[in-house]
Amino acid sequence: MSADTLATRVSRSRADYILFSLPVLFVGTYGMTRWAVSAGAHALAAAGLVCCLIVVDGLFIHPPVEYDEN
């Protein structure tokens, strides 16, 4: 048997973590704001704002770069 598993062949980049964190942060922020404020519109706006900040960070502050493998 080979020790070469899917986990060792796949390297995750910062962009992968950003894409994973968007729905997690949206649902978490929406739930916490809905619990604290009890207003659906405020909770939706807060969750959208948090996700927009993550997207701005991933696109403009720390943009993706291509690495030359040679």
Residue 2 has pLDDT above 60, yes or no: no
pTM of the model: 0.74
* The pLDDT of residue 1 is above 60: no
Domain limits for position 57 = 14-61
Report how many helices (DSSP H) and strands (DSSP E) the chain contains, helices first. 3, 0
Q: For residue 67, is it within any domain?
A: no
* 22 occurs within a structural domain: yes
53, part of any domain: yes
Rounded Cα distance, 54 and 37, in Å: 23
**Model confidence pLDDT, tens digit, residues 4-55:** 565 556 678 888 999 999 999 999 999 999 999 989 999 999 999 999 999 9
- Tokens found for residue 18: 């950003």
Q: How many domains does the chain have?
A: 1
pLDDT score recorded for residue 31 = 96
27 inside domain: yes
29, part of any domain: yes
Kindly report, residue by residue over 22-34, the tens digit of the pLDDT: 999 999 999 999 9
In-domain check, residue 5: no
Note whether residue 8 is domain-resident.
no
